[in-house]
Amino acid sequence: MNKYTVLLVDDEEEVIRGIMKKLEWEKLGFSVAGYACNGVKALEMVEENQPDVVMTDIKMPYMNGMELSHHIKTQFPATKILIFTGFDEFEYAKEAVHLEVEEYILKPVNSAELTQVFTQLKSKLDLEISEKRNVETLEKYYLESLPFLRANFYSMLLEGRIREEEISRYLEEYQLSFAGPYYCCLVVHTSVSHVPEGMNPVLLTTSVRKQAKERLGERWQAKVFPYLENIVLIAQMSCESEITELTDDCDRFCKYVSHVIGAVVTVGVGEVCGNVAGLAKSYGSARTAVSYRVIYGVSRAINMKENVPQETGPQEQTDDTRLSYLFKMIRLGSEEDITEAVSGYLHQAAFQDRSLKQYHVDIMELISALYRFTVNQEIAAEVFPENMKELYARLLDMDAEALQSWLTDISLSFHKELLDARNQSARSFITKAKDYVQNNYTDESLSLDGICQVLGVSNSYFSTVFKKKTGKSFIGYLTDYRMDQASRLLIETNDKSYMIAKQVGYTDPNYFSYVFKRRFGVSPSRYRTEHIEGDSSGER
């Protein structure tokens, strides 16, 4: 039996506790995920927990129930909303219909009425999930594949096998529209290791593809098609800066399919290109980005420019698959993985039963491949310091054990260099974000969207890294910083609370007092009195 979560919102805690006691939630198929006493706090909890149902009052401080409902429907359209209120006014009811609110319930609410409402809502939620998971629907959709010519065109486009002057002819013949003017490839990877019970992996991938087409395809005028066991989207943008919004949309999509159909999905976001011919390069970078899920985690979007260390040249090319695997482990693996990859490479056929001449060629190719790797990955020259001729002679003089030790050491040093580069990049923009807060905390409009626009990164990437590095969300950090400044001003100045509120970025003095009390446990005026009296008694 499906079980759903409910968030209760009312500024009267007694009302919430009464509702919690009135219903047998478990029997109805629901559980109360929590409650909030105002719309602002409720929206924070919705963003954090994404409940299936929000039951809210209308009249509340800081943000009323209608404003809260509008935000939820805009950002989390799958969430169901119930409004219970003492206001029987036509305008409220009309707005509730416009927002597609499930029920508009007048207080006082009795248990029988609430039981009926949640019973009907449970049936509706079950039906929606059943439709998404219905095997027959998925099988039918699976058979409705793209025409062969279009599928073949997309494949050749990603592989760079179509000359630029021929692209317009293909588009016209296959009736395809690429208005652009900017494009970006997305690679959607669905894990086959995490499949819901009773669901066929092929049908699960088909369902993810269907959801991608519905939730990303229309917004970004995207071409959606399967390619090499993944789903690829060619998104279209009006300007390059929309890449951060696209990344955030992809991040929300990953969380959405995880919540709705239980799929573990990662989206690799490629480089932006200014013409259709550039999609081959964009696809290559998106495929590289999605491979970094082993480092940055699954069920999220990974933007090539934001997460993956930049490369100034093509990827290392070698016929030796084990050497390619070693380079992959240097970028993505652990120290143990790297050590094993070195051993596997040196013990393969390339270094066994070969003539002395061929062995010399193998060593030369190894040095060349390592050097290309340092150039492509922008690894500092100090990591690879020897003169090439001297290094070549030194390696030829090594026995097998010494060669393995040398290759292991230099591979681990490359790995450390790349890790340091990633960490330094993250620390750099975290420092910039903190500096920006210190210089602009008085600006009431300072927000997560604003700081991301200043830094040129997406909300999803910035929020993840900022929380990981500081232990706080950006809004939490900003709020704490403002409260610290407010507490200082209360002690050091005689300014009124409403004046201090404005000085630290709050236009609503009541909301400032609410946040201050939540942080320090007392009101601003009480805080000033306690600290000034405390200082005075200390002086005596």
Query: Residue 530 has what pLDDT?
Result: 87
Asked if 53 and 121 touch (Cβ cutoff 8 Å), the reply is yes
Pairing of strands 230-237, 103-106: unpaired
Q: Which among 323, 384, 43, 223 has a CA at the least distance from the CA of 34? A: 43
Asked if 65 and 57 touch (Cβ cutoff 8 Å), the reply is yes
pLDDT at 235 over 70: yes
Query: Residue 464 has what pLDDT?
Result: 83
Q: pLDDT tens for residues 70-129? A: 899 888 888 999 888 776 665 666 676 677 787 888 877 788 888 998 999 999 988 888
The CATH architecture to which 441-539 belongs is Orthogonal Bundle (1.10)
466 half-sphere exposure, CB direction, 13 A CA radius: 24
Q: In the predicted model, what is the mean pLDDT of the chain?
A: 83
Query: What angle is formed at CA 184 by the lines to CA 179 and CA 185, rounded to 5 degrees?
Result: 120
The CATH architecture to which 157-307 belongs is 2-Layer Sandwich (3.30)
Query: Residue 503 has what pLDDT?
Result: 94
**For the chain, percent of residues with pLDDT exceeding 90:** 31
Q: pLDDT tens for residues 513-530? A: 999 999 999 999 999 988
Secondary structure element (H or E) that encloses residue 71, with its range: helix 65-75
Q: pLDDT tens for residues 161-182? A: 888 889 888 888 777 888 889 9
Q: CA-to-CA distance for 214 and 203, rounded, in angstroms?
A: 17
With 0.85 as the threshold, say if the pTM is over it. no
Q: What are the residue boundaries of the structural domains of the chain, listed by start?
A: 4-133, 157-307, 321-420, 441-539
Q: pLDDT tens for residues 436-483? A: 999 999 999 998 888 888 888 888 888 888 888 888 899 999 999 999
Cis peptide before 201 (omega within 30 of 0): no
CATH topology for 4-133?
Rossmann fold (3.40.50)
Q: pLDDT tens for residues 279-328? A: 999 999 998 888 777 557 788 999 877 765 444 444 333 445 777 888 88
Residue 381: exposure state from Cβ atoms within 10 A (0-12, 13-18, ≥19): exposed
Q: pLDDT tens for residues 180-213? A: 899 999 999 998 878 888 888 888 889 999 999 9
Q: Which among 286, 303, 293, 359 has a CA at the least distance from the CA of 331? A: 293
Pairing of strands 53-56, 80-85: parallel
In this structure, the dihedral spanned by the alpha carbons of residues 130, 132, 137 and 141, taken in order and rounded to 10 degrees, is -170
